[in-house]
Amino acid sequence: MKAFGKILGLCVLGLLLIIVALGFAVTHFFDPNDYKDEIRKLARDKAHVELTLNGDIGWSLFPWLGLELHDASIATLQNPKTPFADLQMLGLSVRVLPLLRREVQMSDVRVEGLNLTLTRDENGHGNWQDIGKALPKPPAPGDMVDPNIANPAPVSQSKPDKADRPVKLDIDSLTVNNARVQFSDARSGRELTAESIQLSTGPVHDGIDIAVKLTAFLGTNQPNLRARTELNGELRMERALKRYQFSDLKLSGEMGGDPLQGKTVTYSAQGNLNVDMGAHVADWSNLKLSINQLRALGDLNARDLATEPKLSGGLSIAQMDLRAFMDSINQPLPVMADGSLGQFEMVARLEGTPNSLALNDLAMKLDGSSFAGNLAIADFAKQALRVQLKADKFDADRYMKPKSAEASSAGAARDAEVKTTEATAIGGAGDTPLPNAPTQGAWSNDTLLPVERLRKLDLQADLSFGQLTLNQWPIDNASLKAQGQNGLITLENLSGGLYDGSFSTKGTLDVRPDKPLVALQTQLNKVPVEHFIKGKNGNPPPVRGLMTLNSNLTGTGNSQKALIDSLNGPANFVLNDGVLVNANLEQQLCQGIATLNRKTLSGDARGKDTPFRELKGSVTIHNGVASNPDLKVSIPGLVVNANGDIDLRVLGMDYRVGVVIEGDKSDMPDPACQVNERIAGIEWPLRCRGPIELGAKACRIDREGVGKVAAKVAGDRITEKLEEKFGDKVSPELKNTLKGLFKR
């Protein structure tokens, strides 16, 4: 047995020596470059590709099957003169004996100067779709052309044998230097490139972690962008199960281009990426993302990768300066108040598809305000925005567009006009001239609405606020519901508490016409009116009281001025428990009564608030002018009736007022104007004209009307004297004639 074993060992050794000798002989006496044509034919017949070998082929046989190709290219048989891939050098070595066991054991694999060109023509056909396809055989002369041959039925693929097993991959390392991949689409004109690709790996085996490092320059022409990127991590492959895991993944780089206008975006991403192609799912866990100032953490999951991919997961964005971030990516936000959008952070659960994205269970903080709810874009193409949020507080004024220089100049001009007019109305004394009607416009020509954007908007919004500040009005428990589509935006409800009162409004905004059309129905309930009619230059408002208002107004245009100039519709109002601030209504009456009494006032005019129980009326607005024919004011001891107009375009008023003294019920401010029975019950005329901010200070006694009152009082006095002297002897006709003389 020992001799047999020795003999067997010598035989095996001899065979190995013979194989080595044969390999040495083959590699030294057999030159593959002499068989380039045969190799090309083999590639054409078996692999169905056009192989061009411009350089030398170097090789070795045993124990490694070594191969080096230089200056080679590959094209499809359908387009053999246009290579889709070429390379400067490919070097690899394969162990011979493991090939017999369907195991590929390689040493280092090196690829130099690979250039891969992928194109899609006008018909949407890609050149890669022809790789490995044989040319159709031409029919023999005289043969009938079978339509089934011209359009052959797909060849059914035989099912693989269950005993087949995948080729076992075993490579010591893979190195790719200076590779380039280019994709172009003739139909869209879009190009994508990856240049200067450098790839290196550790040992490549199924089921083990493979160290991978990749660097490249990526680019696109629509828009013109270019990025430098670097990828590091540990890749594990389970090809039989179609599972791939990229652990400790680190992706980083910089990006620039035309959209960024010279600015640079620095980005990085880390985490663990797992892909299961068999189950068509993927996930990215422990995600850490940064883009300039943005820092985010999260976990992402994708499913249905083979059909319509769906995304889910969670995302948390750390506090950041949102305005600075948007500016750094050349997406500057509109000019707003200083400091707005300076603090932003967010946590949300993501749900998405290729055409939609939803942020559910959203918790967001913005400039000290906290929001919770859901935010979604239901359709990117249609800009379908869905908003359902609750906030503790929100100051909307911080995000309004500031006034332009033109609007500020116009506002300053009107303020100066009001100040000058107010100076001439010194305390509203009866001897001063009636103030002039204002002429300066009170509203801005600045554009209010982004019409083009609103025409495309598909909106459903449901918002609520614990406290909302809008136009400096503090609204408690505010609620807003709106929807918009195809250029028509409907405000279903905007309501809340306002200064211990309440309000609600609804309406529509139609941006389909050239000029936007606004329609609003508004209700106010016991809201202090002084917060809407503010005094100028630090002065108090002209009137105070609790207003109840109902209005139904329309307007057209895209600026404050255009809307006010076209404002139309009815409204009615009631003010309860109010005060005419600094109103000298009694002083005005006193001046008229003193004139009738032929007396002189003993003191100067004095300012005094005039309280009233109720002030009510109705208005009809036509092109910015509100006509008020039935204003009534109930003041203790007085009844006031008025009619006139309020020109909303310049915020000016022009009223004729009649004041009736209800008997001797109150002390007048001066002995010269004490009320007696002859004066009680007479309607005393006043004229009020000037800026609405002046209120009652713009009112003066109507001297022409007082003359008529004096004539009436004189006529009544003569009638009384005649009756005292002659009694019933004076005929009624004579009395009426005497009264008529004094009325003229």
Between CA 591 and CA 432 the distance in angstroms is: 12
Between CA 735 and CA 742 the distance in angstroms is: 11
Return the minimum-mean-pLDDT range out of 159-163, 407-411, 509-513, 661-665: 159-163
Between CA 216 and CA 282 the distance in angstroms is: 24
Question: Residue 238 is which amino acid?
Answer: E
- Residue 237 vs residue 729, higher pLDDT: 237
Does 743 score more than 50 pLDDT? no
Between CA 411 and CA 405 the distance in angstroms is: 10
62-109 per-position pLDDT tens digit: 556 677 888 888 888 888 888 888 889 888 777 766 656 666 666 788
Mean pLDDT of 354-373: 95
The two most distant CA atoms of the chain are separated, in Å, by 178
Q: What is residue 221's three-state secondary structure?
A: strand
Report residue 386 CA to chain centroid gap: 12
Question: Residue 120 is which amino acid?
Answer: R
Query: Are the C-beta atoms of 46 and 70 separated by less than 8 Å?
Result: no
Query: Which pLDDT value is given to residue 704?
Result: 65
DSSP string, 23-87: HHHHHHH--GGGGHHHHHHHIIIII-EEEEE-S-EEEE-SSEEEEEEEEEEEEETTSTTS-SEEE
Does 730 score more than 50 pLDDT? no
Query: Which pLDDT value is given to residue 536?
Result: 58
Query: Which pLDDT value is given to residue 353?
Result: 94
- Residue 273 vs residue 658, higher pLDDT: 273
Using alpha carbons, list the distances in angstroms from residue 7 to 269, 332, 743. 64, 87, 157
Query: Are the C-beta atoms of 518 and 490 separated by less than 8 Å?
Result: no
Q: What is residue 423's three-state secondary structure?
A: helix
Positions of E strands within 79-157: 85-95, 103-112, 115-120
DSSP state of 442: -
Of 340, 298, 339, 334, which is closest to residue 318 (Cα–Cα)? 298
- Residue 216 vs residue 431, higher pLDDT: 216
* Mean pLDDT taken over the chain: 80
Of 662, 701, 667, which is closest to residue 682 (Cα–Cα)? 662
- The contacts found for 303-310 with CB under 8 angstroms, 24 or more apart, are 304/280, 305/277, 305/280, 305/281, 306/280, 307/280, 308/353, 308/354, 309/353, 309/354, 310/351, 310/352, 310/353
With DSSP H G I counted as helix, E B as strand and the rest as coil, what are the percentages for the chain, rounded to 5?
25, 50, 30
Query: Which pLDDT value is given to residue 64?
Result: 60
- The listed range with the strongest mean pLDDT (25-39, 504-518, 603-617) is 504-518
Give the 3-state DSSP-derived string for 265-311, with helices as H, strands as E and coil as C. EEEEEEEEEEEECCCCEEEEEEEEEEECCEEEEEEEEEECCCCCCEE
Query: 122 — phi, psi (to 5°)?
Result: -60, -25
Query: Are the C-beta atoms of 207 and 225 separated by less than 8 Å?
Result: no
Residues for the chain: how many in total?
744
619-654 per-position pLDDT tens digit: 999 999 999 999 998 877 778 899 999 999 998 999
Query: Which pLDDT value is given to residue 157?
Result: 46
Return the minimum-mean-pLDDT range out of 504-508, 567-571, 638-642, 710-714: 710-714
491-533 per-position pLDDT tens digit: 999 999 999 999 999 999 999 999 999 999 999 999 998 888 7
Using alpha carbons, list the distances in angstroms from residue 543 to 395, 531, 642. 27, 10, 16
Does 618 score more than 90 pLDDT? yes
149-198 per-position pLDDT tens digit: 444 444 444 444 444 455 566 788 889 999 999 999 999 999 999 999 99
Query: Are the C-beta atoms of 647 and 692 separated by less than 8 Å?
Result: no
- Residue 345 vs residue 716, higher pLDDT: 345
Does 44 score more than 60 pLDDT? yes
Give the 3-state DSSP-derived string for 614-629, with helices as H, strands as E and coil as C. EEEEEEEEECCEEEEE
Query: Which pLDDT value is given to residue 658?
Result: 86
Q: What is residue 542's three-state secondary structure?
A: coil
Between CA 697 and CA 607 the distance in angstroms is: 9
Question: Residue 232 is which amino acid?
Answer: N
Query: Which pLDDT value is given to residue 160?
Result: 47
Question: Residue 80 is which amino acid?
Answer: P
- Residue 500 vs residue 741, higher pLDDT: 500
Between CA 206 and CA 241 the distance in angstroms is: 11
Using alpha carbons, list the distances in angstroms from residue 168 to 72, 209, 264, 712. 27, 16, 44, 121
Between CA 554 and CA 329 the distance in angstroms is: 41
Between CA 2 and CA 8 the distance in angstroms is: 10
Using alpha carbons, list the distances in angstroms from residue 596 to 70, 599, 710. 122, 8, 6
Query: Which pLDDT value is given to residue 521?
Result: 96
Domain ranges of the chain: 24-126+166-205, 409-449+516-701, 704-744
